[in-house]
Amino acid sequence: MTTTPLRKDAARNWDRIVAVARALVDEGTPLQLNDVARRAGLGVGTVYRHFASPEALLETVAAPCLEALAADGERALADTDPWRALEGFLTRTLEAQITDASLAPVTAAPADALPRTAELKQSLRSAGSTLVDRAVRAGAVRPELAPADLLPLMCGVAHAVHVHGGDPDDRIDTARRYLALLLGGLRAAPSHT
């Protein structure tokens, strides 16, 4: 079921490539496989052997974070307070998007290069769906919110933060503010309405 384990040297190369890619993403440089190869001190072919396309590499870079978010989603499902569960999930998803530049393009992409990415995104979507369903049923969230809206909305907030600009430190604040506004809108109107 898992891939054949890599030979030791191949594994080292794999690590190197991903590390270089991570660094490039962090400094905002677009991922170019030739470039990655040069900086990793490897041949282009080697990089292509490990990653069939720039997207595949990017998804690999994003994977740990996606894994963490998926795990977080699982944990959120265990929370007994539906609203708190949803709010926490969204907050952490958004902060990840703001913090890790590899996430936005992967999340927003309509197609996935790696199966694992598709699984993870699916897992996120389904955790989100459940959280939304519960919160709606508990009367904590407006029923207009469809489960499939969660991820797009997160991407939207992240994008809004990006357009707003400002230096990295302000970003988190802006993100929190925007998320608070959105959450305000998601929250069900007081029942006496």
Partner DNA sequence: CATGAATGAGCCTTCATTCAT
Partner DNA sequence: AATGAATGAAGGCTCATTCAT
Positions touching its own copies (CB under 8 A) are: 107-108, 110, 142, 144-146, 148-149, 151-153, 155-165, 174, 177-178, 180-187, 189-190, 193
Report, in Å, the least distance between residue 58 CB and its own copies: 17
**Contact partner at residue 184 from DNA, its own copies, none, CB < 5 to 8 Å by partner kind:** its own copies
Segment contacting DNA by CB under 7 A, of 11-19, 76-84, 122-130, 172-180 = 11-19
Identity of the residue, 112 or 149, whose beta carbon is nearer to its own copies in the bound complex: 149
The alpha carbons of the chain give a radius of gyration, in whole angstroms, of 19
- Within 10 angstroms of residue 13's Cβ, the number of other Cβ atoms is 20
Query: What six digits make up the tokens of 171?
Result: 């970003």
| Geometric angle at alpha carbon 71, from 50 and 36, rounded to 5° | 25
CA max distance for the chain: 67
* Strand-pair partners of 141: 187
- Rule CB under 7 A: say whether 122 interacts with DNA: no
Report, in Å, the least distance between residue 181 CB and its own copies: 4
**Contact partner at residue 155 from DNA, its own copies, none, CB < 5 to 8 Å by partner kind:** its own copies
One-letter identity of residue 79: D
One-letter identity of residue 25: V
Question: Within 38-57, which residues bind DNA (CB under 7 A)?
Answer: 42-46, 48-50, 53-54
The rounded distance, in Å, linking the Cα atoms of 108 and 173 is 22
> What region does 28 belong to: left with phi over 0, alpha with psi -120 to 50, or beta?
left
Identity of the residue, 44 or 71, whose beta carbon is nearer to DNA in the bound complex: 44
One-letter identity of residue 179: L
Report, in Å, the least distance between residue 10 CB and DNA: 3
Q: Which residues bind DNA (CB under 7 A)?
A: 6-10, 12-14, 30, 32-35, 37, 42-46, 48-50, 53-54
